[in-house]
Amino acid sequence: MAQVVLEKIYKTFPHRSKAAVRTSTPAEETVPSSSLRPSADSPAIAEQMGEAHYPAPVSRRERPSQSALPNSSSTVLRDINLTVHDGEFLVLVGPSGCGKSTLLRLIAGLESLTGGNIWVGDRRITDLPPKQRDIAMVFQNYALYPHLTVYNNLAFGLRRMGQENSPDDDQTLPEEESKPSSKNSEQMSALQQKLQRWGEEFLTRITRAFPDKLRYWSEQERQVDQRVKAVAQTLQIEALLDRLPRQLSGGQKQRVALGRAMARNPQAFLMDEPLSNLDAKLRTETRTQIVNLQRKLKTTTIYVTHDQTEAMTMGDRIVVLNGGQIQQIATPIELYTRPVNRFVAEFIGTLPMNFLEVEVKAPCVVVHPAFRLTLPDTWTVPLRRYDGRSLILGIRPEHLSLSVPAPKNIPVRVERIETLGSDTHLTVRVSDESSLGQSPIRLQIRVSPDQSTFVDEKLWISLTPQKVHLFDPTTHNAILPTALEPDSHPSW
């Protein structure tokens, strides 16, 4: 249980040169790169975190110079600075290819850093192999050993930890012991301890398949058994301990994967889209279980997803990534109500935000060929320097409503109706005569299911002025009304 700090993280992947492509043999071209080293989703890597197969990460405190980077490389993460507080549930969200899974693998040690540092608590783990980072990772495909029962899947990592923590077979005697008789006595004692330990391990292994009353229980095995049963009780999988992974449902496999990570009692959990293989109903149930479990354990958790619903319902804070850079870090409600730029505004939300190009007329009027809207007085000062210029107006679907003809309302024609039961989604086309010959402007509206409409019907919709967002068309950054202007840049 510790905070995780990322300092100036950079990651680049070198491109394969054209010369290498031309000179490669047909056999080389057909061998997938994943076959050259173990998959990060394999059970062995899930337990060992790949410490024996990957080079030690390179530590650099400063941003790498352009000359230090490969001539032909792709930068997937740049200048990532992030603090995950102790016990926090932090969600990384963004479109495919934004670098969120790569960032998780860097924290786990499955990828080497190009630049930057990673801290867990007061330990700098940048140069440590994965198994020494005291971090547990839950993968998308569960990564369970198919030939082991649920019990042995949960116990596998604990047994490995016990073996690694046992005394070294090659340990030497203290230098102060100089008398030959003392040395011989110490050597005999050490040999007896080794033989006893090996004998216990041998008996424990060969009797594991026996009934509990006939098994040999070493002290380490008793501790493993207690921990496995405690984790199984927490996850409510006691009845599954004797089953093989192929006998489990998707949700049960996911709970076993979570249990294996929990059993190690790590400083932090890393979860890489663990619910993406589940159906919608099971995803909702498992999502609730993960959140409740994290609150109970109070373990620092970093969760990667591309699903906005997961991000909004699970995270204490959300990190929005795009193009390898952090766009915004905030609570779910702040992301929704105060996006810092157009990308965040469009990305966050079950239905995306609608955008219209408008012209500003002082003091706080925005004009579009189809409507003219007066904004609240809180926009007077921020819009003063934009007088006569174009801005992008954003409005969420739930802040549009059916209304009557008026200059401030928008004439539209219904193109599509999606009835969901609890509400209805309308896709409408703005009826703007000045845009003839141009691409039509389409908006999405969320209305009550009691409001009946039909395709090709002409409607008038009104905007809620207090819920309007404005963005600079050049920088795409948000323009905030006076009441919402922050005192300073948010501290990430």
Domain ranges of the chain: 1-14+37-147+251-337, 150-243, 342-484
Residue 106 has a pLDDT of 95
Q: Quick one: average pLDDT of 270-298? A: 87
pLDDT of 484 higher than 70 = no
| Model confidence at 210: pLDDT above 80 | no
Architecture of domain 342-484: Beta Barrel (2.40)
- The pLDDT of residue 55: 37
Residue 243 has pLDDT above 60, yes or no: yes
List beta partners, residue 117.
7
Higher pLDDT, 196 or 73: 73
* Tokens at 387, concatenated: 């007088």
Q: Is 368 helix (H, G, I), strand (E, B) or coil?
A: strand
CA dihedral 138, 143, 147, 151 (to 10 degrees): 10
The pLDDT confidence band at residue 386, using thresholds 50, 70 and 90, is very high
Asked whether the predicted pLDDT for residue 57 surpasses 50, the reply is no
pLDDT of residue 167: 52
pLDDT band at 118 (very low <50, low <70, confident <90, very high): very high
pLDDT on residue 166:
53
Q: What is the pTM of this model?
A: 0.78
- At residue 316, the pLDDT reads 95
Mean pLDDT of 107-128: 93
pLDDT at residue 354 is higher than 70: yes
CB atoms within 10 A of CB 244: 16
For residue 117, the model assigns a pLDDT of 95
Residue 189: is its pLDDT beyond 80? no
Q: What's the pLDDT at 443?
A: 95
Q: How far apart are CA 382 and CA 138, in angstroms?
A: 46
Query: Edge-to-edge strand order for the sheet containing 325-330?
Result: 135-138, 268-272, 300-305, 89-93, 317-322, 325-330
Question: What's at 135, amino acid-wise?
Answer: I
Q: What are 19-46's pLDDT values in tens digits?
A: 444 444 433 333 333 333 444 455 555 5
Mean pLDDT of 92-101: 92
Give the per-residue SS3 of the chain: CCCEEEEEEEEEEECCCHHHHHHCCHHHHHCCHHHHCCCCCCHHHHHHCCCCCCCCCCCECCCCCHHHCCCCEEEEEEEEEEEECCCCEEEEECCCCCCHHHHHHHHHCCCCCCEEEEEECCEECCCCCHHHCCEEEECCCCCCCCCCCHHHHHHHHHHHHHHHHCCCCCCCCCCCCCCHHHHHHHHHHHHHHHHHHHHHHHHHHHCCCCCHHHCCCCHHHHHHHHHHHHHHHHHCCHHHCCCCHHHCCHHHHHHHHHHHHHHCCCCEEEEECCCCCCCHHHHHHHHHHHHHHHHHHCCEEEEEECCHHHHHHHCCEEEEEECCEEEEEECHHHHHHCCCEHHHHHHCCCCCCEEEEEEEECCCEEEECCEEEECCHHHCCCCHHHCCCEEEEEECHHHEEEECCCCCCEEEEEEEEEECCCCEEEEEEECCHHHCCCCCCEEEEEECCCCCCCCCCEEEEEECHHHCEEECCCCCEEECCHHHCCCCCCCC
Helix ranges (H only) for 242-302 are 250-263, 280-297
Residue 149 scores a pLDDT above 80: yes
**What pLDDT is attached to residue 429?**
94
Q: Using the predicted structure, report yes or no on whether residue 227 has a pLDDT greater than 50.
A: yes
Give Cα separations from 232 to 255, 307, 309 (angstroms): 9, 28, 28
Average pLDDT of the chain is: 81
pLDDT value of residue 162: 59
Q: In terms of Cα–Cα distance, which of 332, 312, 305 is closest to 93? A: 305
Pairwise pLDDT comparison (215 vs 287), residue with the higher score: 287
User: pLDDT digit string (tens) for 407-422?
Assistant: 999 999 999 999 988 8
| Among the ranges given (83-87, 212-216, 351-355), the one the predictor scored with the smallest mean pLDDT | 212-216
Judged by average pLDDT, the poorest of 188-192, 257-261, 294-298, 330-334 is 188-192
Instruction: Return the pLDDT at 67.
Output: 47
Residue 51 pLDDT = 38
Does pLDDT of 203 surpass 80? no
Q: CB of 327 within 8 A of CB of 344?
A: yes
Q: Does 125 score more than 70 pLDDT?
A: yes
CATH superfamily ID and name for 1-14+37-147+251-337 = P-loop containing nucleotide triphosphate hydrolases (3.40.50.300)
Place of tokens 């002025």: 465
Q: What distance lies between CA 404 and its chain's CA centroid? A: 44
Query: Are 175 and 184 contacting, i.e. CB atoms less than 8 angstroms apart?
Result: no
Q: Which range is most confident: 271-275, 471-475, 481-485? A: 471-475
Better-predicted residue by pLDDT, 33 or 272: 272
% pLDDT > 70, the chain: 75
Residue 378 has pLDDT above 90, yes or no: yes
- Write the pLDDT tens digit of every residue in 440-478: 899 999 999 888 899 999 999 999 999 999 999 999 999
Higher-pLDDT residue of 289, 428:
428
Q: Is the dihedral of CA 8, 70, 48, 154 positive or negative?
A: positive
The predicted structure's pLDDT at residue 320: 96
80 vs 166, more confident: 80
What is the pLDDT confidence band of residue 60, given thresholds at 50, 70 and 90? very low
State how far the Cα of 301 lies from the Cα of 279, in Å rounded to an integer.
23
Determine the average pLDDT of the residues in 153-162. Answer: 80
Q: Any idea what the Cα angle at residue 365 is, between residues 359 and 370, rounded to 5°?
A: 60
Instruction: Tell me the average pLDDT across 84-93.
Output: 95
Q: How confident is the model at residue 254 (pLDDT cuts 50, 70, 90)?
A: confident
Mean pLDDT lowest for which of 25-29, 228-232, 314-318? 25-29
pLDDT of residue 24: 43
